[in-house]
Amino acid sequence: MTGLKEVEVVSTGVYLPGNPIPFDELESVLGKFEQAPPAVKRMEGKLRSLAKGLIGVESVYYAIDPQTGRFTENNTTMAAKAIRQALDRAGLAAGEVDCLLYGNALPDMQTPPTSTLIQEELGIEKCAEMELHSNCSAISKLLQIAQDSIRLGRYRNVVVAYSQMSSVYLRASYYNQEKVGTESFLLRWFLSDAASAIVLKARDKVEQGLKLEFVDNQSIGGKKKPGMWLNLGTRNFDLPEAYRTGDHHFCQDYRTTNDIGPACFYEAFERLIDRSGLQYADVDHVLATLPSKKLWEYGKLTFDQKYGVTADKWFGNADKLGYAGASSVIIALDEALKSGRFKRGQRLSAVVFESSKWMIGGFIIKYV
C-alpha cells in the first residue's frame, strides 16, 4: 500500500414503490383502527388534523397493492432495484462490486442476513458483505465503514444501500388494536417505504466529481431512555404473549423527539464541522431529512442565527416523499444532484439523528 486512498461518490440510486399516496388517503391502504379503545380513537381523530400541519408530509410510498392489500416488494427486492440503478449510472457491472454494505431497521429474515439475499438477487457470486441494524443513523455508520475500508485499500468498488419496509408494521391488521396508543399511530402519518444506494470508488486522488471528505458518528443516549422502540426480540420472543401485550408494536415518543431532537441535530452538526477541520462558512448545503415541519422551520431559523448558515442552504424532501429512515438521506442527495442544486466547488453537509437511542452522525461531500 503506497498511501491512503481518496473516496469518490460515483453515483446514487433510488427506488420508491408504487404511486405516491396523499396524506389524507393513508388509511385507505393501511386500514383503520376500528377495534382501538374509544378514547384512543377519539384522540386519533383530534391529532390527525393537527399532525398534518405539524409533520407536514404531503405523501408517502408503500410497497402494498392498494386493491389486494398484498405486499409487492420486500427489503431485498427494493434494495436490489436501487443498487442496479446506481450501478448503471456508475457504468459498473454487479460482478465488479467488492463489498456490499447494507442497513435496515427490520430485516427480511432473522437469518440469513438480508445483505446476502441482496447479493443473490443481484447475481453476485462472491463479494464481501456486511449488514447493519439501525434506522436514521445507518447511512453515516455505513459510510464510515466504507470510507475507512476504501482509504486503507481493502476494497475498490463499494456499494452502500439501505431499505425500509415501514408498511409491514403500519398496517392495521398488524396491531393488537386493543393495546394501541398514541405512540403507535403517529408513525403511520409520515413513515414510508423506499430504498436507496450509493456507489463509492477508490481513487489515488479525486480530481473531478464528488469526494467523500469526512464521516462522523456518535451515540449520545447512554443516559437517556429510548425515543423509539420495537420491543420484539430475544428478550421478548414469546410471540403470542408479545401480541397480547402489544409489545410487537413500533412506537415513538414523538413529543420527546421534538423536544430533544433540535439539540441532537445541533450537536451533530457542530461535531461534524469541528472534527472535519472545516468552518461553518465552508458549508454550502445542509441536507436535513426531518419528518417534522416544526423541527424543519425551527432548525433553519436556529442555523441562521447560531452558525450563519442561511435558510436557503437547507435542503430535504421528506415532506414530498415521506420519511424512510436512512434511505431518505440518499434520496435527498440524489435529488440535489439531479436538480443541479449541488454544484461544482460546493460542499454539502448531511446531518442525521436517530431517536431510538439518540445517535447522531453525518457526512461531508465536496463537489470537486
355, part of any domain: yes
Cα 116 from chain centroid (whole Å): 20
Q: Identify the burial level of 46 via C-beta atoms within 10 angstroms of its C-beta, where 0-12 means exposed, 13-18 middle and 19 or more buried.
A: exposed
Q: How many CB atoms lie within 10 A of CB 296?
A: 19
297, part of any domain: yes
Same domain, 190 and 314: no
194, part of any domain: yes
Tell me what the mean pLDDT of segment 97-102 comes to: 98
Q: Which of 195, 186, 179, 156 is nearest to 6 (CA)?
A: 156
216, part of any domain: yes
Final residue of a structural domain among 203, 235, 258: 203
Q: Which of 212, 168, 108, 141 is nearest to 356 (CA)?
A: 141
- Helices then strands, each counted (H, E), the chain: 11, 14
Same domain, 195 and 265: no
pLDDT value of position 23: 92
When pLDDT is cut at 50, 70 and 90, the band that residue 1 belongs to is: very low
Tell me what the mean pLDDT of segment 303-329 comes to: 94
Q: What angle do CA 218, 127, 137 make, to 5 degrees?
A: 20
Same domain, 187 and 273: no
Which residues neighbour 101 within 8 Å (Cβ) at sequence distance 6 or greater?
115, 129, 130, 132, 142, 145, 146, 158, 159, 160, 161
Tens of pLDDT, residue by residue over 26-78, are: 999 999 999 998 888 888 888 887 778 878 889 999 999 999 999 999 999 99
Residue 164 and residue 325 in contact, taking contact as beta carbons nearer than 8 Å: yes
1, part of any domain: no
Rounded distance between C-alpha atoms, residue 38 and residue 105, angstroms: 31
Share of the chain above pLDDT 90, in %: 85
Same domain, 243 and 151: no
First-residue to last-residue Cα distance in the chain: 25
Cell 439501525: give the residue.
134
253, part of any domain: yes
Same domain, 118 and 64: yes
Same domain, 75 and 51: yes
Final residue of a structural domain among 203, 237, 272: 203
The answer, yes or no, to whether residue 207 has pLDDT greater than 60, is: yes
pLDDT value of position 2: 62
Tens of pLDDT, residue by residue over 137-186, are: 999 999 999 999 999 999 999 999 999 999 999 999 999 999 998 888 88
Rounded distance between C-alpha atoms, residue 287 and residue 310, angstroms: 13
Same domain, 124 and 233: no
Total count of domains within the chain: 2
DSSP letter for 213, please: E
Same domain, 171 and 309: no
Same domain, 171 and 251: no
Q: What angle do CA 246, 252, 257 make, to 5 degrees?
A: 160
Rounded distance between C-alpha atoms, residue 95 and residue 126, angstroms: 8
* Domain span including residue 338: 212-367
106, part of any domain: yes
Final residue of a structural domain among 147, 181, 203: 203
Q: How many CB atoms lie within 10 A of CB 152?
A: 12
Identify the CATH number of the domain in which residue 306 sits: 3.40.47.10
348, part of any domain: yes
Tens of pLDDT, residue by residue over 103-129, are: 999 999 999 999 999 999 999 999 999
Same domain, 155 and 237: no
Same domain, 354 and 226: yes
Same domain, 153 and 192: yes
Tens of pLDDT, residue by residue over 258-288, are: 889 899 999 999 999 999 999 999 999 999 9
